[in-house]
Amino acid sequence: MLGGGFIGRFYAESLQGQRSRDKVVAIYARREETAQKFAADYGCTFQSTDMEAVIAHPDVTLVCIALPNNLHAPAVALCAKHKKNVVCTKPLGRTAAEALTMMQQVEEAGIFGGYLEDLCYSPKFLKALETVKSGSLGRILWAKSRETHPGPHSDWFWDKEQAGGGCMLDLGCHCVEIARNFIGKDVRPVEVMCWAATQVKPIDAEDHAIALVKYENGAIGQFEVSWTFRGGMDLRDEVMGTEGTIWINNFLRTGFEMFTTGKAGDYVAEKAESDAGWLFPVGDEVNDLGYNHMFTDMFRAVEEGRDAAETFYDGYVVNAILDAAYKSAETKQWEPVNLPVWRGQEGLTQASGAVEYDADHYLIKEEMTHYGKKKLILKEKASGKIIEREV
């Protein structure tokens, strides 16, 4: 494990508990006391403030990167050097160029590279994705994801140079990949329109952003992210298709609510703002946020010699979309997504929404009225005229 802080501990709780045969054997941390505490808590046999010593350790078969964003690239380079399989927390890089280099280093070294996008492994997401892939929603037209909370837990997130950006890079990477999965990861993202601003926090990066991502097949991805939202962490996804809709609430209003005076308060859930009043605890946080399913997929993929559901390539595509979003926020225009390496479909066009009613008409809508008649809204093929008919 590279990193003994908040996310490293989340990862360790999950990966050592899910399959009961995976073990953190070595820990790297930038501070000696952090490494010692982590090693004691999780039974690591080796600890060091020397990153390369941990990666090169003979007992290490896979490296998990849980470090600040600016340290992902040097860590991946060392994994490639020592031919160690690697999984990396999100976002993969601070920019698409950085992520592409990391992806190429992993591929050239012939090692496994997994992208730790936990929200694409949450139980609700996996069920929704299965439903979408089965065709229950028809053709996907729109996928929206929202992640908002009062801000991250460590100082480096707030430093634009170390983090590479603000809430858009921190949270938007989740939202973009969620939408890609629903729309189809082989469908090319073509351009982005984004608004971003620093509304509240005294920082150089953005603390609130909203964007639209246009895909080659006509589908739209949408995200809203914020470090200014009050009330805890809000994780919600929506998917709309020609034949149905899915709404997902991952963290607030999930069916577990409690009230307390706070006199005996303790940890409630990630990013919770209070330990008093009405609270929304999470039943099994590491599972509900997808960590268990994520590490199970990663480890099985290594053992089976296959790609995980989320790869370094996916992380690179996400970074490219966010690069376009940052540029759009500056220019106030639609900006193209630059993908010098693209491994999906080419030349898709938007499908026609026309549904035939009969030889002379397209069906726009049909509904049952309160007085028992079915009403049809039709378009005449020859004239283009819109008519209504009761049957």
* Residue-by-residue DSSP string for 53-114: HHHH-TT-SEEEE-S-GGGHHHHHHHHHHTT-EEEEESSS-SSHHHHHHHHHHHHHHT--EE
Provide the whole-model pTM.
0.92
Q: For 196, phi and psi rounded to 5 degrees?
A: -145, 145
Q: What are phi and psi of 39, to 5 degrees?
A: -60, -40
- pLDDT value for 21: 85
Find out whether 44 and 27 touch, Cβ atoms under 8 Å: yes
- Inter-residue long-range contacts of 254-263, CB under 8 Å, 24+ positions, other chains counted: 254/280, 254/282, 254/288, 256/280, 256/281, 256/282, 256/283
The pLDDT-based confidence of 334 (bands split at 50, 70, 90) is very high
Tell me what the pLDDT averaged over the chain comes to. 93
pLDDT value, residue 213 = 98
What is d(CA 54, CA 60) in angstroms, rounded to the nearest whole number? 8
pLDDT given at position 17: 77
Query: pLDDT digits over 360-371, tens only?
Result: 999 999 999 888
pLDDT tier at 170, thresholds 50, 70, 90: very high
How much is the pLDDT for 87?
Answer: 98
Between CA 258 and CA 281 the distance in angstroms is 8
pLDDT classification of 67: cutoffs 50, 70, 90: very high
Full DSSP string of 249-283:
ESSSSSS--EEE-STT----STT---SSEEE---S
Give the Cα-Cα-Cα angle 238, 239, 244 (nearest 5 degrees).
125
| Range 237-248 average pLDDT | 95
The position carrying tokens 């508990």 is: 17
Looking at residue 299, the DSSP 8-state letter turns out to be: H
Helix residue spans in the chain (DSSP H): 6-18, 32-42, 51-56, 72-81, 96-109, 123-133, 160-163, 167-183, 285-288, 291-304, 312-331
Contact 147, 175 (CB under 8 A): yes
The CA distance from 148 to 138, in Å, is 29
Highest mean pLDDT among 147-161, 266-280, 332-346, 349-363: 332-346
What are 73-129's pLDDT values in tens digits? Answer: 999 999 999 999 999 999 999 999 999 999 999 999 999 999 999 999 999 999 999
Residues paired with residue 116 on neighbouring β-strands, in sequence order? 89
Cβ–Cβ < 8 Å for 290, 318: no
The amino acid occupying position 302 is V
pLDDT for position 256: 79
**What is the three-class DSSP state of 222?**
strand
Per-residue confidence band for 261, with pLDDT thresholds at 50, 70 and 90 = confident
* Residue 270 reports pLDDT greater than 90: no
Average pLDDT value for residue range 228-246: 93
Confidence of residue 307 (pLDDT cuts 50, 70, 90): very high
- All domains of the chain in start order, with CATH: 6-118 (3.40.50.720), 120-285+311-336 (3.30.360.10), 355-390 (no CATH)
Q: Is the pLDDT of residue 291 over 70?
A: yes
pLDDT at 330: 98
Count of C-beta atoms within a 10 Å radius of residue 161: 11
Among the residue ranges 47-61, 209-223, 243-257, 343-357, the one predicted with the least confidence is 243-257
| 162 contacts 154 by C-beta, under 8 angstroms | no
Average pLDDT over residues 133-144: 96
